[in-house]
Amino acid sequence: MSAPTRRSLREQATAIDASPSAPPASASVQPRPTGRGLGRMLADVVLWIAAIAGVACMVLVVVALTANITLIMFRTGSMAPTIPAGSVAVVQSVAAPQLQVGDVVTVDREGDLPVTHRITSIAPGANADERVITMKGDANAADDPYPYTVQTVRIVLFSIPGIATAIVAMGSPYVLGGLTVGATVLVVWAFWPRSTTSSRVRRAPTEVDR
Protein backbone atom coordinates (compact mmCIF):
# COMPACT_ATOMS: atom_id res chain seq x y z
CA MET A 1 0.00 0.00 0.00
CA SER A 2 1.45 3.33 -1.03
CA ALA A 3 2.20 6.08 1.54
CA PRO A 4 -0.03 9.12 1.46
CA THR A 5 1.24 11.97 -0.59
CA ARG A 6 1.54 15.58 0.55
CA ARG A 7 -1.41 16.56 -1.62
CA SER A 8 -3.72 14.00 -0.02
CA LEU A 9 -2.65 15.13 3.46
CA ARG A 10 -3.44 18.77 2.59
CA GLU A 11 -6.88 17.79 1.26
CA GLN A 12 -7.65 15.87 4.47
CA ALA A 13 -6.60 18.85 6.65
CA THR A 14 -8.77 21.22 4.58
CA ALA A 15 -11.77 18.92 4.93
CA ILE A 16 -11.33 18.79 8.70
CA ASP A 17 -11.08 22.61 9.00
CA ALA A 18 -14.17 23.12 6.81
CA SER A 19 -16.35 20.71 8.79
CA PRO A 20 -19.05 22.48 10.89
CA SER A 21 -18.17 22.88 14.49
CA ALA A 22 -20.30 21.29 17.16
CA PRO A 23 -23.42 23.29 18.03
CA PRO A 24 -23.10 25.31 21.20
CA ALA A 25 -24.66 23.91 24.27
CA SER A 26 -28.19 25.07 24.86
CA ALA A 27 -28.46 28.13 27.03
CA SER A 28 -29.68 27.48 30.53
CA VAL A 29 -32.02 30.13 31.91
CA GLN A 30 -32.01 30.54 35.63
CA PRO A 31 -34.59 33.16 36.61
CA ARG A 32 -33.79 35.15 39.69
CA PRO A 33 -36.25 34.66 42.56
CA THR A 34 -38.72 37.53 42.72
CA GLY A 35 -40.10 37.04 46.21
CA ARG A 36 -41.77 40.10 47.71
CA GLY A 37 -40.31 41.58 50.81
CA LEU A 38 -41.87 41.56 54.23
CA GLY A 39 -42.68 45.27 53.98
CA ARG A 40 -44.70 44.72 50.80
CA MET A 41 -46.66 41.89 52.41
CA LEU A 42 -47.44 44.00 55.48
CA ALA A 43 -48.59 46.84 53.24
CA ASP A 44 -50.96 44.48 51.41
CA VAL A 45 -52.40 43.28 54.72
CA VAL A 46 -52.92 46.85 55.92
CA LEU A 47 -54.60 47.79 52.63
CA TRP A 48 -56.96 44.82 52.89
CA ILE A 49 -57.84 45.74 56.47
CA ALA A 50 -58.44 49.34 55.43
CA ALA A 51 -60.64 48.22 52.54
CA ILE A 52 -62.72 45.95 54.79
CA ALA A 53 -63.03 48.72 57.38
CA GLY A 54 -64.14 51.15 54.67
CA VAL A 55 -66.83 48.79 53.44
CA ALA A 56 -68.00 48.19 57.03
CA CYS A 57 -68.19 51.94 57.63
CA MET A 58 -70.29 52.45 54.50
CA VAL A 59 -72.66 49.68 55.56
CA LEU A 60 -72.97 51.18 59.05
CA VAL A 61 -73.70 54.62 57.60
CA VAL A 62 -76.47 53.21 55.41
CA VAL A 63 -77.95 51.29 58.34
CA ALA A 64 -77.73 54.36 60.59
CA LEU A 65 -79.51 56.57 58.06
CA THR A 66 -82.28 54.10 57.30
CA ALA A 67 -82.89 53.06 60.95
CA ASN A 68 -82.47 56.53 62.55
CA ILE A 69 -79.47 55.40 64.61
CA THR A 70 -77.00 57.91 66.07
CA LEU A 71 -74.30 58.09 68.75
CA ILE A 72 -74.30 60.01 72.01
CA MET A 73 -71.42 60.54 74.45
CA PHE A 74 -71.70 60.57 78.24
CA ARG A 75 -69.72 63.34 79.92
CA THR A 76 -71.10 62.70 83.41
CA GLY A 77 -71.63 59.61 85.50
CA SER A 78 -75.32 60.08 86.28
CA MET A 79 -76.04 56.69 84.69
CA ALA A 80 -73.17 54.85 86.39
CA PRO A 81 -72.47 52.02 86.83
CA THR A 82 -74.72 51.02 83.92
CA ILE A 83 -73.23 53.66 81.62
CA PRO A 84 -70.13 55.29 83.15
CA ALA A 85 -68.74 58.67 82.13
CA GLY A 86 -66.71 58.55 78.93
CA SER A 87 -68.99 55.96 77.32
CA VAL A 88 -70.55 56.13 73.87
CA ALA A 89 -74.09 54.83 73.39
CA VAL A 90 -75.84 53.77 70.21
CA VAL A 91 -79.37 55.19 70.23
CA GLN A 92 -82.37 54.84 67.93
CA SER A 93 -85.28 57.21 67.48
CA VAL A 94 -88.62 55.65 68.52
CA ALA A 95 -92.17 56.93 68.96
CA ALA A 96 -93.38 57.69 72.49
CA PRO A 97 -96.15 55.00 72.49
CA GLN A 98 -93.42 52.33 72.22
CA LEU A 99 -91.77 53.31 75.52
CA GLN A 100 -91.81 51.18 78.65
CA VAL A 101 -90.81 51.84 82.25
CA GLY A 102 -87.15 50.94 82.69
CA ASP A 103 -86.03 52.03 79.22
CA VAL A 104 -82.95 54.25 79.07
CA VAL A 105 -83.74 57.09 76.70
CA THR A 106 -82.33 60.41 75.53
CA VAL A 107 -84.70 63.38 75.65
CA ASP A 108 -83.94 66.62 73.85
CA ARG A 109 -84.41 69.76 75.95
CA GLU A 110 -85.01 73.16 74.40
CA GLY A 111 -82.18 75.53 75.26
CA ASP A 112 -80.24 72.85 77.12
CA LEU A 113 -78.23 69.69 76.49
CA PRO A 114 -80.09 66.41 75.99
CA VAL A 115 -80.51 64.20 79.04
CA THR A 116 -80.17 60.41 79.05
CA HIS A 117 -81.80 58.70 82.04
CA ARG A 118 -84.00 55.71 82.86
CA ILE A 119 -87.79 56.01 82.63
CA THR A 120 -89.50 55.63 86.03
CA SER A 121 -93.11 56.37 85.01
CA ILE A 122 -95.22 56.96 81.88
CA ALA A 123 -98.50 58.91 81.69
CA PRO A 124 -100.76 59.67 78.71
CA GLY A 125 -100.26 63.00 76.96
CA ALA A 126 -102.59 65.42 75.24
CA ASN A 127 -103.03 63.07 72.25
CA ALA A 128 -102.41 59.46 71.27
CA ASP A 129 -98.88 60.17 70.02
CA GLU A 130 -97.75 61.97 73.19
CA ARG A 131 -96.49 60.70 76.52
CA VAL A 132 -95.43 62.36 79.78
CA ILE A 133 -92.48 60.55 81.31
CA THR A 134 -90.41 60.93 84.46
CA MET A 135 -86.78 59.82 84.48
CA LYS A 136 -83.97 59.20 86.92
CA GLY A 137 -80.26 58.59 86.57
CA ASP A 138 -79.08 55.28 88.00
CA ALA A 139 -76.51 57.12 90.13
CA ASN A 140 -79.00 59.74 91.35
CA ALA A 141 -81.03 59.46 94.54
CA ALA A 142 -84.18 61.13 93.16
CA ASP A 143 -86.08 61.59 89.91
CA ASP A 144 -85.32 64.49 87.61
CA PRO A 145 -86.90 67.73 88.89
CA TYR A 146 -89.64 67.84 86.25
CA PRO A 147 -91.35 65.42 83.81
CA TYR A 148 -90.85 65.45 80.05
CA THR A 149 -93.60 65.63 77.47
CA VAL A 150 -92.41 63.76 74.38
CA GLN A 151 -93.62 62.37 71.09
CA THR A 152 -90.31 60.81 70.06
CA VAL A 153 -87.19 59.93 72.04
CA ARG A 154 -83.92 58.14 71.38
CA ILE A 155 -83.72 54.81 73.14
CA VAL A 156 -80.31 53.40 74.10
CA LEU A 157 -79.60 50.14 72.27
CA PHE A 158 -76.18 49.52 73.84
CA SER A 159 -73.17 51.43 75.09
CA ILE A 160 -69.38 51.05 74.92
CA PRO A 161 -67.42 52.44 77.88
CA GLY A 162 -64.22 54.45 77.60
CA ILE A 163 -64.21 55.34 73.90
CA ALA A 164 -65.66 58.85 74.04
CA THR A 165 -62.17 60.36 74.35
CA ALA A 166 -60.96 58.50 71.26
CA ILE A 167 -63.97 59.62 69.22
CA VAL A 168 -63.47 63.22 70.27
CA ALA A 169 -59.79 62.96 69.32
CA MET A 170 -60.73 61.65 65.89
CA GLY A 171 -62.46 64.94 65.24
CA SER A 172 -59.23 66.89 65.77
CA PRO A 173 -57.90 68.41 62.51
CA TYR A 174 -54.38 67.27 63.43
CA VAL A 175 -55.47 63.65 63.85
CA LEU A 176 -57.55 63.73 60.66
CA GLY A 177 -54.67 65.32 58.75
CA GLY A 178 -52.19 62.74 60.04
CA LEU A 179 -54.48 59.84 59.12
CA THR A 180 -55.03 61.28 55.65
CA VAL A 181 -51.31 61.75 55.02
CA GLY A 182 -50.51 58.29 56.37
CA ALA A 183 -53.15 56.61 54.22
CA THR A 184 -51.95 58.51 51.15
CA VAL A 185 -48.32 57.51 51.71
CA LEU A 186 -49.31 53.87 52.24
CA VAL A 187 -51.39 53.70 49.05
CA VAL A 188 -48.72 55.43 46.94
CA TRP A 189 -45.98 53.17 48.32
CA ALA A 190 -48.03 50.01 47.77
CA PHE A 191 -48.94 50.81 44.16
CA TRP A 192 -45.73 52.56 43.08
CA PRO A 193 -44.39 50.79 39.94
CA ARG A 194 -41.29 48.71 40.57
CA SER A 195 -38.73 47.63 37.93
CA THR A 196 -38.51 43.89 37.33
CA THR A 197 -35.08 42.26 37.34
CA SER A 198 -34.33 40.50 34.08
CA SER A 199 -33.46 36.83 34.22
CA ARG A 200 -29.85 35.88 34.10
CA VAL A 201 -28.92 33.73 31.12
CA ARG A 202 -25.87 31.52 31.47
CA ARG A 203 -24.43 29.76 28.47
CA ALA A 204 -22.30 26.69 28.71
CA PRO A 205 -18.77 27.22 27.29
CA THR A 206 -18.09 25.73 23.90
CA GLU A 207 -14.84 24.28 22.63
CA VAL A 208 -13.52 25.60 19.35
CA ASP A 209 -11.10 23.49 17.37
CA ARG A 210 -8.36 25.49 15.90
3-class state of residue 75 by DSSP: coil
Q: Is 87 helix (H, G, I), strand (E, B) or coil?
A: coil
Pick the CATH number of 68-188 from 3.10.180.10, 3.40.190.10, 3.40.640.10, 2.10.109.10: 2.10.109.10
Going by C-alpha positions, the residue among 122, 117, 119, 134 that lies closest to residue 97 is 122
The whole-number pLDDT of residue 168 equals 73
pLDDT value at residue 116: 95
HSE (side-chain half, CA atoms, 13 Å) at 32: 9
Q: Rounded to a whole number, what is the distance in angstroms from the first to the last CA of the chain?
A: 31
CB 137 within 8 A of CB 58: no
Question: What pLDDT, on the 0 to 100 scale, is given for residue 143?
Answer: 95
Q: What is the reported pLDDT for 49?
A: 80
The predicted pLDDT at position 57 comes to: 72
Instruction: Identify the pLDDT of residue 13.
Output: 55
pTM, two decimals, is 0.59
Q: What is the pLDDT of residue 18?
A: 52
pLDDT per residue, tens digit, the chain (210 aa), is 455 565 665 666 555 555 555 555 444 555 554 545 777 777 777 777 877 877 777 876 777 777 788 889 998 999 999 999 999 999 999 999 999 999 999 999 888 889 999 999 999 999 999 999 999 999 999 999 999 999 999 999 999 999 888 877 776 677 667 777 777 776 676 667 765 554 444 544 555 445
